[in-house]
Amino acid sequence: MIMRVSPAANRRCLEQALGMLDRLTDHAYARRRGDWAPVGAQFRHVLEHYQCFLDGLAGRRIDYDARPRDPCLESSRTAARLATEAVIARLEELEADTSDCSVLVQMQTATTSGDPEWSASSLARELQFLVSHTVHHFALIKLLLADELALDPDFGTAPSTLAHGQARHRESSDAVSPVPMRD
């Protein structure tokens, strides 16, 4: 089956992150808040999933555990911005790909070591996973920054939640309000 694969939602998420990076200081980006991983660590985790995805496409083997865990991405907004822009550029190259190619994916699901387990997936499914994973971490970032920075209301909100809210808004504005009767 041939279908159009579009990473547009992935790019939108990462473009939101660029706005966040522009509004933070390196200190706020890298600072630990209680027991939570810093914003920088959360974002590095997201970026490196995208990097693993993109790096694995040529061989159609995506290993999400092959993340380098680069400390520069956790502490430097400049490094994070450059890496984000590079990921967005690479995602834009996928627009020309019209095949929903199959891939093998590996992600450790247990703490015990053993042989990696590879699962069948598709390019489209992995793009969906990455949006979900990104939104999840962005929601955590939004909570971490709640007392310091007002982020876009859509930041860290699932596309399905946004669509549901828009549909409810349309329904309520389309509903005819009853006219009160007078005696």
16-60 per-position pLDDT tens digit? 999 999 999 999 999 999 999 999 999 999 999 999 999 999 999
pLDDT at 159: 85
Report the run of H or E that residue 106 belongs to, with start and end: strand 102-106
Give the range among 41-45, 85-89, 99-103 with minimum mean pLDDT. 99-103
Residue 97's pLDDT band (cuts 50, 70, 90): low
| 167: pLDDT strictly greater than 80 | yes
Closest by CA position to 42, among listed 34, 32, 51: 32
What tokens were used for 55?
A: 């790096």
pLDDT at 99: 53
pLDDT at 98: 47
| 82: pLDDT strictly greater than 80 | yes
What are the structural domain ranges in the chain?
A: 8-109+116-167
How far is 38 from 31, CA to CA, in rounded Å? 6
Instruction: Check residues 142 and 6 and name the one with the higher pLDDT.
Output: 142
Strand partners, 33: 36
| 95: pLDDT strictly greater than 50 | yes
Which whole number is the average pLDDT over 127-135? 96
The SS3 of residue 12 is helix
The proportion of the chain whose per-residue pLDDT surpasses 70, expressed as a percent, equals 89
The SS3 of residue 47 is helix
How far is 167 from 161, CA to CA, in rounded Å? 10
Report the run of H or E that residue 121 belongs to, with start and end: strand 118-122
Superfamily (CATH H level) for 8-109+116-167: dinb family like domain (1.20.120.450)
How far is 62 from 56, CA to CA, in rounded Å? 4
The single-letter code of the amino acid at 69 is: R
pLDDT at 100: 73
pLDDT at 115: 81
Which whole number is the average pLDDT over 57-72? 96
The SS3 of residue 178 is coil
Residue 167 neighbours by CB distance under 10 Å: 10
Strand partners, 58: none
Cα dihedral angle (107, 70, 137, 134), rounded to 10 degrees?
A: -70
Arithmetic mean of pLDDT over the chain: 89
The answer to whether 43 and 14 are in contact (CB under 8 A) is: no
The proportion of the chain whose per-residue pLDDT surpasses 90, expressed as a percent, equals 71
